[in-house]
Amino acid sequence: MTSAPTDTQHHDPRSLPRPPHPSAWPVPAPVLRGEGPSSRCRVVSGVVYATPPGIRGLELDLYLPADDVCPPVVVFLHGGGWRAGDRRWAGDVQAGDLFAALLDAGIAVVSVDYRLSSEAHWPAPLVDVLAAITYLQSRAEDLGVDVTRLGLWGESAGGHLALLAAVGASAGDPDQQLRRAVTGPVLSWYAPTDLTTCAGDLGHPVTDADSRESQLLGHPVTERVERVREASPALQVSAPFVEGRPFLLLHGADDSFVAPRQSQRMRDALHSAGAQVDLRLLHGAGHVWTGSDTARQEAFEATTTFFSRWLLHPADGDTTTCDR
Rounded-to-integer distance, Cα 138 and Cα 143, Å = 10
The residue ranges of every structural domain in the chain are: 25-313
**pLDDT value at position 91?**
67
Helix pair angle (157-167, 124-138), 10° resolution: 70
Rounded-to-integer distance, Cα 232 and Cα 198, Å = 10
The HSE-up count of residue 3 (CA atoms within 13 Å, CB side) is: 9
The per-residue pLDDT for range 126-178, each reduced to its tens digit, is 999 999 999 999 999 999 999 999 999 999 999 999 999 999 766 656 666 66
Residue 41 banded pLDDT, cuts 50, 70, 90: confident
> What end-to-end distance do the CA atoms of the chain give, in Å?
47
| Helix residue ranges per DSSP H, the chain | 95-98, 100-105, 124-138, 140-143, 157-167, 177-181, 198-201, 212-217, 225-230, 239-242, 260-272, 293-311
Residue 268, SS3 per DSSP: helix
Percent of the chain beyond pLDDT 90?
68
The per-residue pLDDT for range 265-319, each reduced to its tens digit, is 999 999 999 999 999 999 999 999 999 999 999 999 999 999 999 999 766 556 5
CATH topology classification for 25-313: Rossmann fold (3.40.50)
95 contacts: CB under 8 Å, gap ≥ 6: 37, 61, 76, 78, 87, 88, 89, 111
Quick one: CA torsion of 293, 296, 298, 301, rounded to 10 degrees? -130
The HSE-up count of residue 118 (CA atoms within 13 Å, CB side) is: 8
DSSP string for residues in 211-265 = SHHHHHHTS-TTSSHHHHHHT-GGG---HHHHTT-EEEEEEETT-SSS-HHHHHH
**What does the DSSP 8-state code read for residue 6?**
B
Rounded-to-integer distance, Cα 144 and Cα 159, Å = 26
Cα distances from 220 to residues 146, 172, 199, 209, 232, in angstroms, run 41, 21, 11, 5, 14
The per-residue pLDDT for range 241-256, each reduced to its tens digit, is 899 999 999 999 999 9
